[in-house]
A and B are shown apart, each in its own frame.
Chain A
């Protein structure tokens, strides 16, 4: 699966591999010990955010109080 930014696909794969392993082996089993993926996520994000800006994709602000339904549609 590709990233929205073609140059970010490899970084995305690295992060996904790390996350899927942590998710299955730690998170779902109730293990809250450190997230090993923060560094790979950071590198991946720098690339993705640049691609989003370049393609002018209208992302909403981050909202982590729950799913964001306050979309302003006209």
Chain B
């Protein structure tokens, strides 16, 4: 079992980061996500928006393998629950894989909040718990998966650029800046 955590600071206010995060896919920095569907969405009595989504991810297997076993067997499906509190300015997401659960379990939790010291910035904390089951090299594989998640987290800021298609100048600024 491997637990991985990270923190990333966006140089943009929370509202802007959330709008971009809601349109995070397609994301060329994480092309393994090939499908996103909203399964349900509700606003609760406190005014918080709850969403349940299904993400289809692809392993990147060679197309000959895919043609032999069919897409359904080469996709991994992830179920994600999220809550946005617009008054408190928090966006929390939790996701788990729902297929191949007898082989691997990846649970992720993300939280976006305004930076406590600078309201023009947003802080993303990310946690992942990864378990690979019944495989003697499991620790090594868990390490590989954690390092993939870590690499993707470092590219988080690019998705803001992609969501803001109309604001070209801002996009260039975001991509160049830290």
Given known pairs A2-B35, A4-B37, A28-B18, the reply for A57 and B81 (CB within 8 Å) is no
The B-contacting residues of A in range 1-50, CB under 8 angstroms, are 1-5, 8, 12, 15, 19-20, 23-24, 27-28, 30, 32, 35, 41, 44-45, 48
**CB of A53 within 8 Å of the partner chain:** no
Residue of A nearest to B87 (CB): A30
Residue of B nearest to A60 (CB): B79
Q: Nearest Cβ in chain A — how far from B117, in angstroms?
A: 22
Q: Mark contacts of B21-57 with chain A using CB atoms, 8 A cut-off: 1 yes-contact digit, 0 otherwise.
A: 0110110000001111111111110010110101010
How many chain A residues touch B (CB < 8 A): the figure is 38
Do A28 and B15 have beta carbons less than 8 Å apart? Answer: yes
Chain A: interface secondary structure?
loop
Do A8 and B40 have beta carbons less than 8 Å apart? Answer: no
Q: Mark contacts of A39-71 with chain B using CB atoms, 8 A cut-off: 1 yes-contact digit, 0 otherwise.
A: 001001100100010011111101110111101
How many chain B residues touch A (CB < 8 A): the figure is 43
**CB of B173 within 8 Å of the partner chain:** no
| Contacts A/B (CB < 8 Å), 30 sampled | A1-B36, A4-B35, A4-B77, A8-B37, A19-B38, A23-B19, A23-B22, A24-B19, A27-B49, A28-B19, A35-B43, A44-B38, A45-B39, A48-B37, A48-B39, A48-B54, A55-B72, A56-B72, A57-B54, A58-B77, A58-B99, A59-B39, A59-B54, A62-B40, A63-B52, A63-B81, A64-B42, A67-B94, A71-B98, A74-B102
Q: Which residues of A contact B (CB under 8 A)?
A: 1-5, 8, 12, 15, 19-20, 23-24, 27-28, 30, 32, 35, 41, 44-45, 48, 52, 55-60, 62-64, 66-69, 71, 73-74
Q: Which residues of B contact A (CB under 8 A)?
A: 15, 18-19, 22-23, 25-26, 33-44, 47, 49-50, 52, 54, 56, 72, 77, 79, 81-84, 86-87, 92-94, 96, 98-99, 101-102, 105
